[in-house]
Amino acid sequence: MKKLSFILVVLCCILPFTLHAEDINEQQQTYKDLETFANVLTLLQQHYVDRIDTNAVMIGAINGMLSSLDPHSSYLPPDDFKELQEETKGSFSGIGVEITIRDGILTAVSPIEGTPAFQQGIEAGDQIIRINGESTKDLGLMEAVKKLRGKKGTKVTITIHRPDRQELKTFTLVRDVIPLHSVKSMELGPGLLYIRITNFQATTTRDVRKALNKALKKQALTGVVLDLRNNPGGLLDQAVKVSDIFLDKGVIVSTRGRNPDQDMVFEAHHNSDSFSFPMVVLVNGGSASASEIVAGALQDHGRAIVLGTETFGKGSVQTIIPMPNGAGIRLTTARYYTPSGDSIQETGITPDMIVPFQEPAKESADKEPRWNIREKDLPKHLTNGDRKKIEARNTSGQTEKEQQKIKQRLARDNQLRTALIILKSLNIAGQTTKDAHKQQPKDQSRRK
């Protein structure tokens, strides 16, 4: 009996090794690598020329480990993790200006309307040379963000260089709570609505519905332009919900990872508000991740015409995993696939209509004005008896200032102009078809 028990114990020890020899070999190699890492850290602590910050070295090692996998996996220290959570909730405390690194210089992309930066006159293209007297040369984007953000009521001083001026200008701004409005909308004409989504955050779907309902209270919609250009993405669930607004059935997006049991499929649901108006989705090389999900879903289901240039091609899913010390790990865990089964990764979304953006041509100051006198400009011209009715139909109650704003926007955005032409053409074609059906005789059998 004792001999049998001994044999069973030996089998139990040997069987796992036989079944998982590769895994055990990998574990053994991992232990050896960890031992090497510990030895290197000890050598640094004992012999490096200056006393090292062990915590900083460890975080650097973690970042190096994650960055060796792909560009999107990263370690988020507690402060960065907290900022990420604040941004997805829809607000943060700062001065209210979007920034980027352009040609190695910290540059303002645009101030957010109503914020301290906007009120003080910060303009798009302003180069931020100093923050609180310290040079921004070689300053990373996240470091700059940290310096500009802070508690409400605190002050920050920035020195800017405006390309069209020689002298530097200094601004002292009082930080405030900055709401992040991810959805902006405006009427392009009667029944034609423009919706821009800058990123996908917790309130995006609600705000898109709000824009649609506001427009529908005035009149029926005959077309929508959904602008996803330069939208870097955001929350997956919001991309799915926004797509679901315009789709009644079918797959929106699916994800596939390392473990098949963790694969997910997101499908559209039948909506009480079923929209049938034509749509054009604007995209470009800055449209990534969540915005590519929306564009791909609407394109594959034939719900919208996608117009612009090829998208960024970020088709990977990042899962944010909280750590015990308040930090977080952003880890790539799956790939996105469109309803047709195509991977977004690397290839992106190819528009139905390739329309590159064109910078508006500058009018020459010496150029003679074009002949633009019309009948209404002639003295003692006859007025139109139905003038008020015509104006109401053409403007949909828009003020002269609003009409002028739309004209200026269309004048400098050729992609938006093309989208508007497409929507108007579809409406004309649809109306012509309806009229043709009405004019057909009911008894078709008499026609030979």
* CATH number of the 183-354 domain: 3.90.226.10
Q: What percent of the chain has pLDDT over 90?
A: 45
Asked if residues 90 and 179 have their Cβ atoms less than 8 Å apart, the reply is: yes
Report domain extents, the chain.
91-179, 183-354
- Asked, colleague to colleague, whether 91-179 and 183-354 share their fold, the answer is no
**What is residue 87's predicted lDDT score, i.e. its pLDDT?**
62
Query: What is the three-class DSSP state of 31?
Result: helix
Half-sphere exposure in the Cβ direction for 164 (13 Å, CA): 3
pLDDT per position as a tens digit, 362-409: 654 444 445 566 677 777 777 776 655 555 555 556 677 778 888 888
Within 247-386, where are the H helices?
290-300
**What is residue 370's predicted lDDT score, i.e. its pLDDT?**
52
User: Which two three-digit tokens encode residue 92?
Assistant: 């943060």
In eight-state DSSP terms, residue 376 is G
User: Among 29-43, 219-233, 419-433, where is mean pLDDT lowest?
Assistant: 419-433
**What is residue 433's predicted lDDT score, i.e. its pLDDT?**
52
**Number of helical H runs and strand E runs in the chain:** 12, 19
Query: What is the three-class DSSP state of 189?
Result: strand
Asked if residues 348 and 324 have their Cβ atoms less than 8 Å apart, the reply is: no
CA end-to-end distance (rounded Å), the chain: 101
Task: Tell me the one-letter amino acid at 212.
Answer: L
pLDDT per position as a tens digit, 95-145: 988 787 777 889 887 677 678 988 998 887 889 999 999 999 888 777 888
- Strands (DSSP E) contained in 180-285 are 183-189, 192-197, 223-227, 251-257, 264-267, 279-283
* CATH number of the 91-179 domain: 2.30.42.10
pLDDT per position as a tens digit, 53-76: 998 899 889 888 988 888 778 888
pLDDT per position as a tens digit, 134-169: 999 888 777 888 899 888 999 999 999 988 788 899
Query: Measured between alpha carbons, how far is 148 from 158 in angstroms, rounded to an integer?
Result: 9
Give the containing element (helix H, strand E) for 421.
Answer: helix 414-439
Nearest to 271 by CA among 304, 294, 297, 249: 249
Residue 313 has pLDDT above 60, yes or no: yes
Query: What is the three-class DSSP state of 24?
Result: helix
In eight-state DSSP terms, residue 362 is P
Query: What is the three-class DSSP state of 71?
Result: coil
Active site residues: 289, 300, 314
Strand partners, 91: 179
